[in-house]
Chain A
Amino acid sequence: MKISLNWLKQYVNIDNIPLNEMLNKLTLSGLEIEDVNDESAKLNNIVVGFVKEKKKHPNADKLSLCVVSIGDEDFQVVCGAPNVEAGQKVIFAKIGAVIPHGNFTIAKAKIRGVESFGMLCSESELELSDDHSGIKILDPVLKEGTQVSEALGLNDVLLEIGITPNRPDALSHYGIARDISAIYNLELKYPAFNLIESNQQISKLARIEIEDTLNCPRYSSRVVIDVKIKESPFWLKESLRKIGLRPINNVVDVTNFVMHELGQPLHAFDLDRLAGKKIVVKSTEAESTFKTLDSKNRKLSPGTLMICDAEKPVAIAGVMGGENSEVSDKTQNILIESAYFNPSSIRKTSKYLGLGTDASYRFERGTDPHGTMLAANRAAQLIAELGEGKIAAGVIDVYPAKINDKKITLRIGRIEKILGYQVPEDQILQILQKLGIKVQSSNKSELQLSVPPFRPDLEREIDIIEEVARIYGYDNIPTVEKIYSTLAKKYDESAFIDELKSTAVSLGFYEMINNPLQSVTSASLMGNKIALLNPQSQDMAYLRTSLISGALEVVSRNIKHGERNLTLFEIGNVFNKNNSEAINSFNDFAEKTKLILVITGNQSEKEWNNPQIPFDFYSLKGLVNSFNSKFLLDNVLNDSYYFTQNRIFDYSFEKITGNDIIGFGGKVSQQVLKQFDINQDVFCFEYDLHSLQAVLPSGKRHYKDLLKFPKVLRDFAFIFDKSVTYSEVIEYISKTSSGLLKSVKIFDLFENESLGTNKKSMAFALEFYDNDKTLTEEEIDKEFNKLIVSVSNNFNAKLRGN
């Protein structure tokens, strides 16, 4: 919100406070100063000038030759404005001045052969308005030589203040002044104004009825008659310009001025355009449309609070007036609306219409129900004064159910309980009083408070404690010097994920973090996707159903940047609908945490001492098994293999235990790669972390005795039929051997015509040992030979080297 410092000074005397200190204190108290714009520096060397003489320019018909005095010095100035006359007070830009419009510097000039020492300025040249019809004529009482910024009140500092949504009371100059008065213990004053009523009784001119008293608890009004609609005076236009509003006419400008002065939004109706000279406040019952004063047709939902006349709606209450009752140049009689509306009703309407105005912004946060009459009076007085109108005698103030101050008990000791510091009681009382909170009674330990409704955020004791703390200053509350902990049980729900991440990193993977919001194509790769109701864009309209699509997008982007060798992982949540289409409970969807490992390109590039090694299916499998090994899952999980293509993979495998799939992965299919515009093989594996965690061996890790006896190694190689798989042989050997065989590894595999058609050779390294004794040669030979016979017979295989 924009605040003018000069305007603020009407309500609190801050002349003796250094500006920066005050702004800092306001920020600390919760009114955050977001921007400061010091206007006074802008108009250096531009002063009030007195036109002593005016002659025709000798060489140009349309130019004048003036002598301008600034008191102690006279200047010859060539002026092109049609309205310049001797005896005027004008704005004189001296040599060296910078003209705001166009940002140019005044220099000595020769115009049609005559020297000119400065320039007389229009409003538009100083960016005070768009008026460039002639130079600006100043009030004759202004003293020549005075800086124009001072003479016209342009020596202002404009503030941008961030107001949090709990503080509607601070959405006005008077409201900001109130906080300053509390911070500095200064008097808050509202300038008295003289309201002169005419003989015309308001009750003869207009009537007001409230039908929906829930949403309109109070409607106050004044009527001003015989008003001349015209341009506002300079001071009013300037006040509005400074806070970023465009002046329109004297009536509209006054309503805006009073809103920014007191925080009460007002609306001015052309009384003669109200059928039956009557206002009825009621909510709509059916859908309807209404043309607002910006000439737009608005579709209204049932239950929209409307201001109506005897026949038709004339304004959307609290949001925007209608074109049909707007003040125009021909308007003579004005009805001023100053109402209090139910905040949630205005918010609903404003949200529904997608239409936020300065008025709705204040109403939906909560205005002051006690302040409506003051604002109406103030506006009536100004409209009458500026429009030469007459204020009808009396007011109409429909206020069916009075809104009272709130009664709150403040226990003095509670302040220390919450803050850890006892603010002195005299300070507490002073702060409350300056904030407009009345102490109704008190005893040693408690204050009975009466809190006015302009502070809707103050409802409970804790709210009062916050007020005391923020005005007293958070920095004045001591910071404890010692931190203590508790002996309560500690939990770490992220420990498992932390360990997974460390393991992935130790295997050479880099972590990615992808956006879970995806396009329909990416989210449709698998699963049952969930759509956002209000997406920002089509690219981010669905929640991811797996980590695969996001990973493939990253692979694709990186390859385009020339990064072809990638080892990436991500841990993140994926989202799938369960059976039901609608999501009404946590049972209607599943959010699961997944881990994905992705590899593509080469695991090592060609080097002087190593060949290039591309990633393949077995690299993926090896990495997955290294992972499992780290978590002691070697003997817990089984593999299932799929040799045929599915939607995602050309071929793939799953890690399973019982019926549970812990993870799955494989070689991404060409079709999917094409969809992501990737032209090299990609292998990936996705774990479900909940399932993974469930199968982790429970309990603590125990040390196992180190082997004290020697290991004995033996090799054998067989020629098998080509259809025999590695895992069949390994499983058979493990099953057949006694406990002495502790490990079998394949170390060679080849196929060759020389072996026979459809044959292959597999060679295995076997490791024998006994934990309790040294094995003898005989024991091992017996076991080894037995295995040779069994394998030969079982697979119809031929031992090689025989």
Chain B
Amino acid sequence: MNLDQITSVSGEFDKDLSSVIVLKELEELRIKYLSRNGIVSGLFEKLKDVPKEEKPAVGNKLNALRNYITENFNLAKIKLEEKGSAGKQSIDLTLPGTQRQIGSKHILTQTVDEIKSIFKGMGFSTFEGPELESDYYNFEALNFAPDHPARDMQDTFFISKDFLLRTHTSPVQVRVMKNYKPPIRAIMPGRVYRSEAVNARSYCMFHQVEGLVIDTDITFAELKGTLVFFAKQFYGNDLKYRFRASFFPFTEPSAEMDITCYICGGKGCKICKYTGWLEILGCGMVDPNVLINCGIDPEKYTGYAFGMGIERTAMLKYNVQDIRLFFENDFRFLKQF
């Protein structure tokens, strides 16, 4: 026996160990190398035949081999036991697990929730109101004169001469102003109806979130600040924005807020009708007539209001091309969000 022979046993063990998969095979390996009749014992037997001057070196080498094999055997045993004492044959861990169904809120609700949470963070209250409204709350109190063409801006479903499906959530503003004293800082999410043709871009109902702030010293500059804050939270910090003059009977001055089209980055595309801008909301300073109608002194208090459509926002944000998908409630659609 010489040192090379010992080295080759070590190599053989490494090879054998590498092919071990289950504990039973490892046990066979133990018997082969470490048992009383195993290879290592056999080598120790032969030590007596080694010439005297070589004995210390060969003895050391043999001890090292025994330690090496024992240690590696023990390590392998621990690893295999961790893997599962019974080994791979008795349980197929690759079989599929039992999944549970997690429900979800409608994507429009999720969009409203996101908007609500931003305004809640700015200290806004949330109010709701009826969908079947009177002409007074929907139009008259909001400074729509009875025979004014401004009424044509919102095609209305009527129930009777004086009752209708609200065309915007602004009647909730009137109710809030009549029921609470300034300071008022509130948003009003809700469903509204307009007699518009049903097609991929428009539907006979949709959802809005409106906001109302009334206090002493509320200004247009603050309206801009609040809405820019919102837009940055909702659409991203780097957006560009602009305020355009517009007209709503219940605000004066009135504006529409545009942001850079985030489909094309402002270069112009089909979505932004090649303007580079997307209109995201309408806003303005509450018209003094509205304040008076709601019992608030317009000399003492000023305020602003704003409103945005949820469907349009969600369509842009989630690339939904057909508004009708929101209301068909196809399970395959609902499960995507």
- A residues bordering B, Cβ < 8 Å? 27-30, 32, 34, 164-167, 343-344, 347-348, 364-365, 416-421, 460, 462-463, 465-466, 469-470, 474-475, 477-483, 485-486, 488, 490-495, 498, 501-502, 504-517, 530-536, 540, 543, 554, 557-558, 561, 563, 566-569, 572-573, 575, 582-584, 586, 589, 591, 607-610
Report whether B220 and A510 are in contact in the complex, using a CB–CB cutoff of 8 Å. Answer: no
Q: Are A512 and B131 in contact (CB under 8 A)?
A: no
- B261 partner residues in chain A, CB cutoff 8 A: none
Whether B334 sits at the interface, judged by CB under 8 Å, is: yes
- Contact flag A583-B160 (CB < 8 Å), given A348-B147, A420-B219, A514-B327: yes
Are A421's CB and B103's CB within 8 A? no
A190 to B108, CA, bound (A): 53
Contact of B331 among A516, A535, A566 (CB under 8 A): A566
Given A469-B245, A534-B158, A607-B98, 19 further pairs, Cβ under 8 A: A29-B245, A165-B153, A347-B147, A418-B285, A479-B221, A480-B221, A488-B184, A493-B128, A508-B103, A510-B334, A511-B334, A512-B334, A513-B327, A515-B204, A532-B157, A557-B330, A561-B332, A568-B329, A572-B191
A533 near B221: Cβ-Cβ < 8 Å:
no
Residue of A nearest to B242 (CB): A475
Taking a contact as CB atoms under 8 Å apart, the answer to whether A511 and B253 are in contact is no
In-complex Cβ contact of B104 among A511, A558, A561 (8 A): A511
CA distance A575 to B152 in the complex (A): 26
Q: Would you give 30 A-B contacts (Cβ < 8 Å), ordered by A? A: A28-B242, A344-B146, A347-B147, A417-B217, A470-B245, A474-B253, A478-B221, A479-B221, A479-B225, A480-B219, A485-B123, A490-B125, A493-B128, A502-B105, A508-B100, A509-B103, A510-B103, A510-B331, A512-B106, A514-B327, A530-B132, A535-B157, A543-B132, A554-B329, A557-B330, A561-B330, A566-B331, A584-B162, A589-B163, A591-B132
Question: Given A474-B255, A505-B104, A533-B160 in contact, is the A418-B220 Cβ separation under 8 Å?
Answer: yes
Find chain B residues with CB under 8 A from A32 CB: 244, 246
Rounded to whole angstroms, the CA-CA distance of A299 and B211 in the bound complex is 45
Distance A250 CA – B82 CA, assembled complex (angstroms) = 100
Cα distance, A515 to B131, chains bound together (Å) = 13
B148: Cβ under 8 A from any A Cβ: yes
In the complex, chain A residues whose CB is within 8 Å of the CB of B204? 515, 517, 536, 540
Residues of B within 8 A of A (CB): 95-96, 98, 100-106, 108-109, 113, 116, 120, 122-123, 125-128, 130-132, 134, 146-150, 152-153, 157-160, 162-163, 165, 183-186, 189, 191, 193, 195, 197-198, 203-205, 215, 217, 219-222, 224-226, 228-229, 242-247, 252-255, 273, 285, 287-288, 302, 326-332, 334-335
**Distance in Å: Cβ of B117 to nearest Cβ of chain A:** 10
Say whether, besides A418-B302, A530-B159, A558-B331, A488 and B219 are in contact (CB < 8 Å). no
Docked complex Cα distance between A607 and B96 (Å): 9
Q: Is the CB of B130 within 8 A of A462?
A: no
B329 engages A514 (CB within 8 Å): yes
User: Smallest Cβ distance from A492 to chain B, in angstroms?
Assistant: 5
Question: Residues of B contacting A465 with CB < 8 Å?
Answer: 252-253
Is the pair A515, B247 in contact by a Cβ cutoff of 8 Å? Answer: no
Look across to chain B and name the residue whose beta carbon is closest to the beta carbon of A564.
B331
- The answer, among A474, A506, A608, for a CB contact under 8 Å with B245, is A474
CA distance A754 to B329 in the complex (A): 50
Known contacts A493-B127, A534-B158: does B328 contact A557 (CB below 8 Å)? Answer: yes
**Are B159 and A343 interface neighbours, CB within 8 A?**
no
B329–A165 CB distance below 8 A = no
| Contact for A558 among B106, B242, B330, CB less than 8 A | B330
**In-complex Cβ contact of B109 among A167, A343, A344, A501 (8 A):** A501
Residues of B within 8 A of A343 (CB): 147
Nearest CB of A to B122, in Å: 6
Complex alpha-carbon distance, A336 and B215, angstroms = 54
A514 CA to B228 CA, complexed, in Å: 33
A419 (CB) vs chain B CBs: closest residue: B220
Could you tell me if B106 and A511 are in contact, using CB atoms closer than 8 angstroms? Answer: yes
Q: How far is the CB of A138 from chain B (nearest CB, A)?
A: 35
Q: Which 5 A-B pairs have the closest CB atoms?
A: A420-B219, A420-B221, A485-B123, A30-B245, A164-B247
Bound complex: CA A470 to CA B247 (Å): 11
Q: Are A511 and B128 in contact (CB under 8 A)?
A: no
Task: Provide the residues of chain B in CB contact with A501, threshold 8 Å.
Answer: 105, 109
Q: Which chain B residue has the least Cβ–Cβ distance from A531?
A: B159
**Chain A residues in 8 Å Cβ range of B183:** 486, 488
B298 to chain A minimum Cβ distance, whole angstroms, is 8
Q: Is the CB of A480 within 8 A of B246?
A: no
Minimum CB–CB distance from A458 to chain B (whole Å) comes to: 10
Contact of B244 among A166, A364, A474, A572 (CB under 8 A): A474
**Known contacts A493-B127, A609-B98; A419/B134 CB under 8 A:** no
Q: Which chain A positions have C-beta within 8 A of B195? A: 534, 536
B residues near A463, Cβ cutoff 8 Å: 252
Shortest beta-carbon distance from B23 to chain A in Å: 26
Shortest beta-carbon distance from A88 to chain B in Å:
42
Residues of A within 8 Å of B146, CB to CB, are: 344
Inter-chain contact B158/A417, CB cutoff 8 Å? no
- In the bound assembly, the distance between CA atoms of A573 and B130 in angstroms comes to 9
Q: How far, in whole Å, are A572 and B329 apart by their CA atoms in the complex? A: 14
With a 10 A CB-CB cut-off, give which of B95, B120, B189, B243 has the most chain A CB atoms. B243
CB of A419 within 8 A of CB of B221, answer yes
Bound form: Cα–Cα A27–B279 in Å: 12
Assembled-state Cα–Cα distance A104/B120 (Å): 61
Closest to A583 in B: B160
Inter-subunit contact A515/B205 (CB<8 Å): yes
- Bound CA span A589–B335, Å: 36
Contacts of B197 in A (CB 8 A): 536
Instruction: Check A508/B329 contact, CB under 8 A, given A469-B220, A494-B189, A536-B204.
Output: no
Q: Which residues of B contact A582 (CB under 8 A)?
A: 160
Q: Give complex CA distance A495, B285 in Å.
A: 28
Determine if A532 and B215 form an interchain contact, defined as CB atoms under 8 angstroms apart.
Answer: no
Contact status B160-A584, CB under 8 Å: yes
Chain A residues, Cβ within 8 Å of B123: 485-486, 490
Given A466-B252, A494-B189, A516-B205, does the pair A474, B243 have CB atoms closer than 8 Å? yes
Q: Are A573 and B116 in contact (CB under 8 A)?
A: no
Tell me the minimal C-beta distance from B120 to chain A in angstroms.
8
Give chain A residues whose Cβ lies under 8 Å from the Cβ of B219: 416-421, 480
* Nearest CB of chain B from residue A27's CB, rounded to whole Å: 6
Q: Which residues of B contact A506 (CB under 8 A)?
A: 103
Q: Which A-chain residue is minimally distant from B230 (CB atoms)?
A: A483
Q: Are B126 and A492 in contact (CB under 8 A)?
A: yes
Return B324 CB to nearest CB of chain A, in Å: 10
Choose among B203, B226, B242, B287 the residue that contacts A483 (Cβ–Cβ < 8 A).
B226
A584-B164 Cα distance, complex, nearest whole Å: 11
**A residues in contact with B247, CB < 8 Å:** 30, 164-167
